[in-house]
Structure 1
Amino acid sequence: MSRLTRTLLLASSLASGAAAQNGTQGEGLHSLMVAAGKLYFGTAMETNNFDDAAYQAIATNKNEFGMFTPENSQKWEVTEPTQNDFSFTQADSIAERVLSNGQLFRCHTLTWHSQLPPFVANGTWTPETLTAVLTAHITTVMQHYAGQCYAWDVVNEALNEDGSLRSSPFLTTLGEAYIPLSFTIAAQADPSTKLYYNDFNLETTPPKTAAALSLVRAVQSAGAPIHGVGFQAHLNVGQTPSRADLAAILTSFTALGVEVAYTELDIAHVAPALPADEAGNAQQAEDYAAVVGSCLDVEACVGVTVWQFTDRYSWVPSTFPGKGEACLWTEGYEKKVAYERVVGLLREAAVVEGGGGGAGGGAGDGSGSGNGRWGKWVDFFRGKLEYVMFDAYTPRP
C-alpha cells in the first residue's frame, strides 16, 4: 500500500469520526462516545479473529468501534524476528481491514522489555550498537506505517510497581536515557503521529503513577516529544477506583500538557466469584462506568479501547488463572449488563454534549471541519492530503 493511500484512508477515518459528532448515527459505543465529545471507542483485534464471522460483524460495525489496536502483530518479535529481517504481513492485514472500513488504527508497540526477539534479548550490546539497532527498528516500522496510525505506543511498561525502572536490555545498556531516545527516534521517523507512553496499574498504584509523571517530565526535559499517556486499565471487579479518583489521576497527567486514553481496558471477575452472579455483573457494570465516565470528565482524555470486546478472545483467563469474564460481550456474543450500563452513560453524556453543556462542546459541519473538538485533526489530515497529491510519495513494501 502506498503512503498516499495510507494517508487517504486515515484522513477518511478521521473525517468519519468528526462527522459522527453531529449525531449518534445509531447507538453503539463509538458513535455515542463521539457524540459525547470524544474521539473514539475502540477494541483490540488480531488476525486469529478474521475467520470468526460473528466477531467481525460486531468489530466492523462503526457504531460500536472506531479505533483498533493490534494485540501482538506489531511487537518486535513479530515485525523483526531476526536482525534487519522485517515482516509486516500480519499487521498489514489488520491495518488494511480497519482503515478501508473507515476506522482508526492505534499502533502498538516499539520499545518494550517483553516479546523481544532473541537477537535483542540475548545480544551483547554496547551503547553504540544497541542505539543503532533501536533506531533501525523504530524507524523502519514507523515509516512502514507512516500515515496510518493515530498514535504509537513508543515506550511500553518501563516501570515496576514501586516506581523503579524495569530491567531490560535497553535500561542495562543505555540507562534511563533510552526512554527519551526512543521518543526522539519515533518523532523523526513519523512526525505526523501521536507518541505515547503506555503502562498498567497507573490507575491503582501510587508509586508507579508518580514515577510515570516523572517519566513524562524527564522526556519533556530532554527535549523529546511526548503527546500522550496510555492507561492500560487491566482492573478487577470491585477493586476499580471511583470515577472521581480516576479522573483526578488522568488530570495529573493532562496538567503536563499531554493527552490521555484508556488503551487496554478490561475488568475481570476474580475467583471464587466465577462464574459471575447477578451482583457481580452489576458491580462490573458500575466499574466499567467509572472508567468510561472518568474519561468523559477529563477534556484531554481522547478515548477508550477495550482489550478485546468478547470473553471468547480475552487474554485474561490464560494469563491470570482464577480471573475471567472481563469483557463487555460474553463468549457467545451476548451484550453484558456492563455494555448496557456504558451505553446508558454515553447516551446521557451525548445529550449533554449535543446541547452544548458538556466539556469541549462544539459541532462540526458534517464535513469534518468546523469548531468541533476533532475538527482540527481532520483539517490537519486534509492539509496533508493536499500536500501528498502534489508531491512524489513512493510506494513502500
Structure 2
Amino acid sequence: MRFGSRAAARCAVGVALVPVAISAAVLPAAASPRDQAAPSAQAQEDRSHGPAIRNGLRTVTPDDLVIGTAVAGGGHHVNAGYPDPFTRDPRYRKVLATEFDSVSPENQMKWEFIHPEPGVYNFGPADAIVAFAERHGQVVRGHTLLWHSQLAEWVTEGDYSDEELRAILKDHIQTVVGHYKGRIQQWDVANEIFTDTWEGDEIRLRPQNVFIERLGEGIIADAFRWAHEADPEAELFLNDYAVEDMGPKSDAYYELAKKLLAEGVPLHGFAFQAHLDLQYPFPETLDENMQRFDDLGLETAITELDVRFTLPESGVPTAEQLAEQADTYQGVLEACLSVDDCNSFTIWGFNDRYSWVPSFSPGQGAATVMFEDYERKPAYWALHETLAEAKAGR
C-alpha cells in the first residue's frame, strides 16, 4: 500500500519514526498545503538557518541501500536568478550533508562543463562535490560519459575523421574516470542511447549521438571498456528515462545488456532515471522490470527520480497533488526495495527552487520533496517512513 492511501490515518496519529510534526507535514485533503494557521515546530525549523533535521533520510536508510540526490549546479542554473546553490547556499549544503549518503553532480561532470575545450579539463566544480562527499561520508555517482546532449561545441562542430572522433571519446572517458579513480562508486557510462519513438516493437539507437552515429554500436562496448581500464573498481551503468515500465524501450536495453554481458563487457548495472509526471499512470511493472535486469546479474538503481505535475494558476500545489506525488515517490522506492540488488536510490534534487523541471516543462513544477524554503513535503515523509520500515525489517 502506498502513501496516499494512508495519508488520512497518518494525519491523525503521526509517525513515531519521525518528528511529531509529521501530522502537520502530511496535510488533510481539504487543507491548502501552504495556508496553515500555525506552522509546526518542524516547519519553523525547516524555514530557519538553524540545525538540519536530526534524523534525516540517510539515518533511516537500510545498510544495503544508499539514498542520494543530484547536486545542483551548471545547466539551467547558470542563467537562473540565484547564485550557484552548492557553492553559495549554506542551508543547501547543510541539508545535502545531513539527508543523503550519495550525491550525483547534476551537470558538473557533463562534457560541456568538464571538458569545454580540446585538451582543457575543468575539474574544479566536480572536485568540490567529490571532496564534500568524502568529508561527509557520502559516495558519488558519476554522471555522465557517453551522451548526445550537453556536448561541447568543439566536439559537435569539429571536422574530425572517425579515427579522431574515437580518440577524442577515449581520451575524455579515460581522463575523467581516471581523475576520480577510487573516488566514484558508480558511473553512468552510456546515457539515453535509444530513441523515444519506435515502429511496432523496433527501437533504434539515437541518431543524435555523434559517436554512435559515426562509429557504430560497438562504441558503446568500447566506452565501458575504457571506463573500466581507467578505474577497475567503479561500477558501470547504462542509464535512461522512460524505461520504468516493461515495453519496447526497456526491452531494447534488456537485449543490449544481455549482448554486452555475453561479450564480456564490464557492464555492472542498469539505471532507471524515473522522471515521472502525474498526468501519466504510475509504472506498475517497474518492480518486475527491475527484477529481470537483476536476474541477469546486474545491479539496478533509481538515479534521477522526480515527480512533476501541472501547477494551479496560483502556483501552489493542492493537497491532492502533494498526496499523489507522495504516493508516486513511495511506489518507486518500494519497487527498488523489492529487488535484491537495487542498491542506489537517487532523487534528482530536493528543493523546488533549484529543480530543473520549470525550465524545461513550463507550467509544471514542485517536483522535489521540499518546498523552496526547505519545508518537507508529504513526499519526503513518504520516503522517510518507507525507508525506516525497511531498515527495521532487515
1:343 aligns with 2:384: yes
CA contact under 8 A between 2:244 and 2:289: conserved in structure 1?
yes
Partners of 2:149 and 2:259 lie apart in 1 by 23
- Partner SS state of residue 265, structure 2: coil
For residue 153 of structure 2, what is the aligned residue in structure 1? 118
The one-letter amino acid of 1:195's match is L
Query: Which consecutive residues of structure 2, in runs of 5 or more, have no partner in the other structure?
Result: 1-52, 74-83
**1:237 Cα offset (Å):** 2.1
Partners of 1:153 and 1:118 lie apart in 2 by 22
- 1:161-200 Cα distance to aligned partner (Å, 9 max, x none): 2331111211221111111110011111110100011111
Among 177, 181, 187, which residue is 1:146 paired with? Answer: 181
Query: Which consecutive residues of structure 1, in runs of 5 or more, have no partner in the other structure?
Result: 1-24, 354-397
- Partner SS state of residue 60, structure 1: helix
For residue 93 of structure 2, what is the aligned residue in structure 1? 56
CA contact under 8 A between 2:246 and 2:285: conserved in structure 1?
no
Partners of 1:145 and 1:28 lie apart in 2 by 28
Q: Which moved more, 1:209-218 or 1:324-333?
A: 209-218
- 1:21-62 Cα distance to aligned partner (Å, 9 max, x none): xxxx9632222222xx4321011113521211221221111x
- Partner SS state of residue 221, structure 2: helix
The one-letter amino acid of 2:323's match is A
For residue 81 of structure 1, what is the aligned residue in structure 2? 116
**1:76 Cα offset (Å):** 1.0
- Partner SS state of residue 72, structure 1: coil
The one-letter amino acid of 2:96's match is A
1:253 aligns with 2:290: no
For residue 133 of structure 1, what is the aligned residue in structure 2? 168
Query: Structure 2 vs 1, CA of residues 248 and 270 (structure 1 numbering), >3 Å: closer, same or farther?
Result: same
- 1:256-315 Cα distance to aligned partner (Å, 9 max, x none): 111011101100112458532111111111111100111111111012111110101000
- 1:352-383 Cα distance to aligned partner (Å, 9 max, x none): 11xxxxxxxxxxxxxxxxxxxxxxxxxxxxxx
The one-letter amino acid of 1:303's match is S
Among 39, 52, 56, which residue is 1:28 paired with? Answer: 56
The one-letter amino acid of 1:68's match is V
CA contact under 8 A between 1:38 and 1:296: conserved in structure 2?
no
CA contact under 8 A between 2:306 and 2:347: conserved in structure 1?
yes
CA contact under 8 A between 2:144 and 2:188: conserved in structure 1?
yes
Alignment of 1:159-308 (within 5 A): 159-161=194-196, 162=198, 163-167=203-207, 168-204=209-245, 206-237=247-278, 239-241=280-282, 245-272=285-312, 275-308=316-349
Partners of 1:303 and 1:85 lie apart in 2 by 32
The one-letter amino acid of 1:27's match is N
For residue 193 of structure 2, what is the aligned residue in structure 1? 158
Partners of 1:56 and 1:80 lie apart in 2 by 25
For residue 352 of structure 1, what is the aligned residue in structure 2? 393
- Partner SS state of residue 33, structure 1: coil
Q: Which moved more, 1:161-170 or 1:105-114?
A: 161-170
Partners of 2:287 and 2:176 lie apart in 1 by 34
What is the aligned residue count? 324
Partners of 1:262 and 1:239 lie apart in 2 by 19
Q: TM-score, normalised by structure 2?
A: 0.79
CA contact under 8 A between 1:125 and 1:173: conserved in structure 2?
no
CA contact under 8 A between 1:238 and 1:287: conserved in structure 2?
no
Among 66, 70, 74, which residue is 1:40 paired with? Answer: 66
Partners of 1:203 and 1:107 lie apart in 2 by 21
**1:238 Cα offset (Å):** 5.4
- 1:334-361 Cα distance to aligned partner (Å, 9 max, x none): 00011112211222222211xxxxxxxx
Partners of 1:221 and 1:121 lie apart in 2 by 32
The one-letter amino acid of 1:56's match is R
Partners of 2:141 and 2:159 lie apart in 1 by 32
Partners of 2:354 and 2:57 lie apart in 1 by 19
**1:204 Cα offset (Å):** 4.0
Partners of 1:51 and 1:123 lie apart in 2 by 35
Partners of 2:317 and 2:289 lie apart in 1 by 29
- 1:231-272 Cα distance to aligned partner (Å, 9 max, x none): 110001253525x62111111211111101110110011245
Query: Structure 2 vs 1, CA of residues 287 and 238 (structure 1 numbering), >3 Å: closer, same or farther?
Result: farther
Partners of 1:214 and 1:83 lie apart in 2 by 35
1:93 aligns with 2:134: no
CA contact under 8 A between 2:173 and 2:226: conserved in structure 1?
yes
Partners of 2:368 and 2:135 lie apart in 1 by 26
The one-letter amino acid of 1:29's match is L
The one-letter amino acid of 2:121's match is F
Partners of 1:290 and 1:328 lie apart in 2 by 14
- Partner SS state of residue 183, structure 2: coil
CA contact under 8 A between 1:203 and 1:241: conserved in structure 2?
no
- 1:123-170 Cα distance to aligned partner (Å, 9 max, x none): 233332121111111111111100110011111110112331111211
Partners of 2:60 and 2:337 lie apart in 1 by 11
